[in-house]
Structure 1
Amino acid sequence: MTSAREQTAAPSAGEAGGGSEGGEGGETADTARIPAFPMARAAGCPFDPPPGLRDRRAVAPLTRVRLWDGSTPWLVTRHAEQRALLADPRVSADVTRAGYPKTVPSNGGGLSFINKDDPEHARLRRMITAAFTVRRVEALRPAVRRIVDGLVDELLAGPRPVDLVPAFALPVPSLVICELLGVPYADHPFFQENSRILISRTVTPDDRTAALGRLTHYLRELVARKRVEPGDDLLSGLVGRTEVGELTVEEAAEMGVLLLIAGHETTANMIALGTVLLLQHPDQLAAVRDTEEPELIASAVEELLRYLNITHSGLRRLALADIEIAGQVIRAGDGIVLPNDIGNRDPDAFPDPDRLDVARNPRRHVAFGFGVHQCLGQPLARMELQVVYGTLYRRIPTLRLATGVDRLAFKHDGSVYGVHELPVTW
């Protein structure tokens, strides 16, 4: 299901070379000729990167693209250059800097420390790192197994067909992150709805700001309650840091919002989208379903993360100094867009990259980013996906779609890719 469009015309100076138009904003006759980003996926190929990204990679490792505001940041399409730039200290993740290539119009900054630079980024990140170490996450595996088995029990006892998104894909990570943070799961309709607004590409800046305000207010009140009645959870630990002056209440609330959103949205979409993909590849599904080897399940998780890579708006950065790379010079102040979906399909990094192979174990993928800003929660996400993929298809071996894949509504309108609904039966 991959487009064969691999060739394009030679780049113009504005596309592959020029430097003056990057990050200025406002469309001109010159910038109008530069390809727009994000790019559309090919019809009938919902699991593949947009063919336009392959076209850009055929032109050069670095070319220009045009964003919603008319700015023309660099597009980086090869795996090696993506990792090099993501690890480069001359590259900033601070969304408040002039020229930063924003995903959508916004009225303010980003979410907590992920949109800050060191040393502030490192200071805040260190406060929660311990909760996401491999050792701490492995200690949670039995609890996650109980959650997954309980939800599968409910599926088997319930009606068919069923929408797997609200019945399974969303509850698994939501229950886990609520337990970890100390957030009442009963409030999940509230935070899931506001999360949906925040990650939508189509809502207005005012709607996005209002959703963020509601979530921040909710977490601020929860932090205040935990001052009086602390628990054995991550938010209570952050409250302790506010009491000794290491963290403000607002910073604690912002970190809570970030962890709550990231802790359920991305994993939920990977559960659903990975299931759709495996159902389209019966041989790969059988390998996952029938194995008793944890190593193969772990490998399958890495391959699905590489192949699907649901953060399909690209990672965004800003150059703080001139950077020479791949025959180009990224000037200080230039925006940089790094679509990790096309990086994960780079044949120089992954042989035969458009073939799904659950035994591949491609641990060098960039689905979680790279460098100091790589995803803090990746050990938790990996473990949850291992439990899900190792349980769901084994316990429901005849699981199948209750509709055609061509009738599924994919999330082309969000910054996190997935399916809105997933009707299945068995």
Structure 2
Amino acid sequence: MTSTLPVFPGARAEKCPFDPPPAIRSLQEEAPLTRVRLPDGTTPWLVTRFADQKALLSDPRISSDVTRPGYPAQVAIEDRGKAPVSFILMDDPEHKRLRRMVTAPFAIRRIEAMRPGVQQIVDDLIDAMLAGPNPVDLVQAFALPVPSLVICRLLGVPYTDHDFFQDNSKVLINRDVSPQERQAAGGRLFDYLDDLLGEKIARPGDDLLSGLVERIAAGELTREDAAQMGVLMLIAGHETTANMIALGTLALLEHPDQLALLRSSPDPALVASAVEELLRYLHITHNGRRRVAVEDIELAGETIRAGEGVILAGDIGNRDPSVFADPDRLDLTRNARQHVAFGFGVHQCLGQPLARMELRVVYGTLYRRIPTLALATTVDQVPFKHDGSVYGVYELPVTW
């Protein structure tokens, strides 16, 4: 009976806000490939072991195409509104064709060239915090503005519109909103990016959206697909990094030995290691990577049949003790680079070089410049995003 299956993603333990849900965690040892129940009543397979996840993420028998029957979609295809399907929900060759049009701006050399500008943004926001009220909400004063300013600069989006796109993004990643609310928010963002593309057609600049306009003019890309790409990059570019900044800060404040280690060392290698470990330990996308089998696949003593949905739970995979010793311990000196926080294979996160660079600047600057940074409340009073597809905190009151 489906009613007896574990519910995915499940509830976290009240005293362990940084850890994956205990009901799902126990499956890693007991049933590494098992059926779970989604809110819509469907029962896809859940993959919990690190090695199995990496194998499937590079397996051509697994499809990312959200339009295929059996795909365990978080949002029904008919509830997505007028915007076209994103390329991250497609398979090659169309996925590859569209993705390559936005790959160049995220090349490591180009991202590194942005570092001084990101450092200036971070320093300016810290200056404003130190000059302003104390205590302050770190989310609104720092964690959200940093990546929003950066992605706006990269895309060519006016930062003055940040309230608009942040508010609508919150609706899109909230699991509890109605299909009508989600459609409306998605439609507003799509129209906004479409209007911006119109402005870039008339007055192109040196930004990513202007680059897409060139693709439109060359007949390589439809304006609708370009607008949808803009929506994807605008949301992903600020939501995920903002949550990593705030949640990572809270995790460090709750692990003062690790915070002291990071704050006391100027070694860039330690900062880079801290970023990878926090990405592994927190893994803020907790709805799993969704796929559907296009052929039968034998795995962990079971058979995933063609047409059956598959969910790869990266937060559980990143706590796999066969890969990460003592996985529930936050250890900034750990070599955690092989984590799957950014996925694996052809669909791994396009923006990971940007996210890594931003986090290195933030984690290497914030705690050094405000060495007495402390939580201005108790952790049990912090409002966590249990209702979101991107995990984090709604507010983080801090003092110094």
Letter of the 1:124 counterpart: L
1:387 and 2:361 aligned: yes
Q: Give 1:329 deviation, angstroms.
A: 1.2
Q: 2:172 corresponds to which residue?
A: 198
The TM-score, its normalising length taken from structure 1, stands at 0.92
Q: 1:238 corresponds to which residue?
A: 212
Q: Distance in 1 between matches of 2:335 and 2:396?
A: 27
Q: 1:3 corresponds to which residue?
A: none
Q: 2:340 corresponds to which residue?
A: 366
Alignment RMSD (CA, Å): 1.0
Letter of the 1:152 counterpart: I
Q: Distance in 2 between matches of 1:60 and 1:39?
A: 16
Q: Distance in 2 between matches of 1:275 and 1:81?
A: 31
Q: Distance in 2 between matches of 1:222 and 1:338?
A: 35
Larger deviation, residues 48-57 vs 176-185: 48-57
Q: 1:216 corresponds to which residue?
A: 190
Q: Which one of 17, 24, 45 corresponds to residue 53 of structure 1?
A: 24
Q: Give 1:58 deviation, angstroms.
A: 2.4
Highest RCO, 1 vs 2 (Cα 8 Å, sep ≥ 6): 2
Q: Percent identity?
A: 70
**What is the CA deviation profile of residues 350-407 of structure 1, one whole-angstrom value per residue up to 9, with x for unaligned ones?**
1111111001131110001111111000000000000000000000000001000010
Q: 2:316 corresponds to which residue?
A: 342
Letter of the 2:181 counterpart: D
Q: Which one of 293, 296, 306 corresponds to residue 332 of structure 1?
A: 306
Query: Is the alpha carbon distance of 1:41 and 1:327 closer, same or farther for their aligned partners in structure 2, counting shifts above 3 Å?
Result: same
Q: Distance in 1 between matches of 2:278 and 2:271?
A: 11
Q: Is the 8 A contact 2:148 2:237 kept in 1?
A: yes
How does 1:255-334 map onto structure 2 within 5 Å?
Answer: 255-334=229-308
Q: Secondary structure at the match of 1:107?
A: helix
Q: Distance in 1 between matches of 2:232 and 2:358?
A: 18
Larger deviation, residues 106-115 vs 279-288: 106-115
Larger deviation, residues 85-94 vs 172-181: 85-94
How does 1:249-260 map onto structure 2 within 5 Å?
Answer: 249-260=223-234
Q: Give 1:112 deviation, angstroms.
A: 1.5
Q: Which one of 126, 139, 152 corresponds to residue 178 of structure 1?
A: 152
Q: Secondary structure at the match of 2:114?
A: helix
Q: Distance in 2 between matches of 1:184 and 1:170?
A: 15
1:152 and 2:126 aligned: yes
Q: Distance in 1 between matches of 2:62 and 2:374?
A: 45
Q: Give 1:32 deviation, angstroms.
A: 1.0
Q: 2:103 corresponds to which residue?
A: 129
Q: Is the 8 A contact 1:319 1:335 kept in 2?
A: yes
Q: Give 1:290 deviation, angstroms.
A: 1.1
Letter of the 1:308 counterpart: L
Letter of the 1:363 counterpart: R
Unpaired runs of 5+ residues, structure 1, are 1-29
1:100 and 2:80 aligned: no
Q: Distance in 2 between matches of 1:93 and 1:198?
A: 20
Q: Distance in 2 between matches of 1:361 and 1:58?
A: 23
Q: Give 1:342 deviation, angstroms.
A: 0.5
Q: Give 1:60 deviation, angstroms.
A: 1.9
Q: Distance in 2 between matches of 1:103 and 1:300?
A: 31
Q: Secondary structure at the match of 1:318?
A: strand
Larger deviation, residues 296-305 vs 323-332: 323-332
1:207 and 2:172 aligned: no
Letter of the 1:355 counterpart: R
Structure 1 consecutive aligned stretches of length 4 or more whose deviation exceeds 6 Å: none
The TM-score, its normalising length taken from structure 2, stands at 0.98
**What is the CA deviation profile of residues 65-99 of structure 1, one whole-angstrom value per residue up to 9, with x for unaligned ones?**
01111111101000000000111111111112111
Q: Distance in 2 between matches of 1:104 and 1:387?
A: 34
Letter of the 2:187 counterpart: G
**What is the CA deviation profile of residues 251-309 of structure 1, one whole-angstrom value per residue up to 9, with x for unaligned ones?**
11000000000000000000000000000011100111111110000000000000000
Q: Distance in 2 between matches of 1:65 and 1:104?
A: 17
Q: Give 1:111 deviation, angstroms.
A: 5.1
Q: Distance in 2 between matches of 1:305 and 1:156?
A: 27
1:403 and 2:377 aligned: yes
Q: Is the 8 A contact 1:300 1:361 kept in 2?
A: no
